[in-house]
Amino acid sequence: MRVVVLCALLAVAALAWLLWRGSAAGTPSETKGAESSAPPSAAVLERGAYLVRVGACMGCHTAQGGVVLAGGGEVRTPFGVFHAPNLTPDAETGLGRWSLADFRRAMRHGVAPGGRLLYPAFPYEQYTALRTDDVDALYHYLRSLPPVAQPAQPHVLAFPYGSQWALALWRGLYFRPAAAVAQEGEAGPLEAGRYLVQAVAHCAACHSPRNGLGALGGGQRLEGGLMPTEGWQAPSLLDSREAGVQRWTPQAVVQLLRTGRTDEGATASGPMADAVFWSTRYLTDGDARAVAAYLQRLPDAAAGTGASGGEAAVPPPAAGGGQRYDSGAQANFRHYCADCHGAQGQGGGPGGAFPPLAGNRAVLRSDPGNMLRSILQGGYAPATAGNPAPHGMPPFMQTLGDAEIAALATYIRQSWGNQAATVATMEVFRARQGRP
């Protein structure tokens, strides 16, 4: 009996400690150096504007057709729908009454004024690594915007995710804030790239595996994973057989980040097109090259497998299978696909606008979900200064049935030297329903 009581007391103590650790009481105040009343310089405001863009703040905090940064964007997750709040300095509905210390605490610790805990749909798991001077620049820039009176809509979350105690427990289990860091001289390219990837642009928020409670875990950061808000698979940045950046030229990485496409035929689509449009197209050439340098120095998971970087991370077709598509698949490819992607899947178009399908890593992934979503929903590169009139692929959701798309995808995955597994009709059905 004593053992049972002792175990119960220990469990209660552990739970209380986790709740305290994840609560506002367990976070620092961030008041050091926040008392200055001196107006921000033009350089600080310029830096803040740059960070707002590269940090993709507008992507969530701007409603479609709404005022920039006045809130209203939706983030749909398996736990419910989050509504991004107003970031303009309106006193009643925005950040007008927030002090610099309040803003620092929200950005680096996920705690709003009054001790309200913020949900990690706001990526403070990555923003916690922001330098103090950059957090301050963001604050001063947002304070310089015209105030817009636009109340935030409440989140719509399933029980118990809408409760602060559940969020405190989640934070106690999974959130580890970084120590405050001040700027110390000019960073070298690799360190600058690491800072941009891991903190400002928060690439790990998509390109990392998450557990059943939405926390980063179960693997290394940047090794790829399911995006629960989209149903897409973010490819691994640590495996040259997936994203493949280790095998690209630095210029190709820079070109994709700043324009959404490369001269070699790679095109950003799906959630990555949004990332380019809202974030990476604003990178300076120097910062884009720093990101490329950092990504290309990451350890390559393919190096220890005996596979070359040009081989996709896929199994061969099942034994005895050969080609596993019906006779209509080739006809559908010729009718719907060949004019742009080439009769032999070689790609083409002006400036290589239409990516090749032969040897395409997205085509050859073991999980065909991204390919199926592109066929169903269409593929649209972002409009950027370097690619102002991008070509797009129409959706075939209303044109082809599940069995036809499965056969077409299998034909593409098993032609022109491609060797990837057969696509099942059920996989298309799940992709059509937005399920992984």
**314 φ, ψ (degrees, to nearest 5):** -135, 155
Cα atoms in the Cβ-side hemisphere of radius 13 Å centred on 224 = 19
Alpha-carbon gap, residue 316 to 302, rounded angstroms: 17
Are 70 and 135 within 8 A, CB to CB? Answer: no
Element (H, E) at 43: helix 42-54
Are 268 and 260 within 8 A, CB to CB? Answer: yes
Q: Six-digit token pair at 106?
A: 């929200």
7 is in an annotated binding site: no
Say which amino acid occupies 313.
A
Are 125 and 213 within 8 A, CB to CB? Answer: no
155 is in an annotated binding site: no
**Residue 80: strand pairing partners:** 77, 157
Hey, is 176 helix, strand or coil? coil
340 is in an annotated binding site: yes
Return the DSSP state at 262. -
Radius of gyration of the chain (CA): 24
Residue 223: closest CA among 235, 210, 211, 240: 235
Find how far residue 196's CA is from the centre of its chain.
13
User: Which whole-number Å values give the CA distances from 170 to 165, 214, 391, in the listed order?
Assistant: 9, 9, 43
Alpha-carbon gap, residue 391 to 269, rounded angstroms: 11
Are 88 and 95 within 8 A, CB to CB? Answer: yes
Alpha-carbon gap, residue 99 to 126, rounded angstroms: 22
Expressed in angstroms, the distance from the first to the final Cα of the chain is 47
Element (H, E) at 48: helix 42-54
335 is in an annotated binding site: no
109 is in an annotated binding site: no
Residue 373: closest CA among 415, 423, 323: 423
Annotated binding site for heme c: 57, 60-61, 203, 206-207, 337, 340-341
Q: Please enumerate, by residue number, every residue annotated as part of a binding site.
A: 57, 60-61, 203, 206-207, 337, 340-341
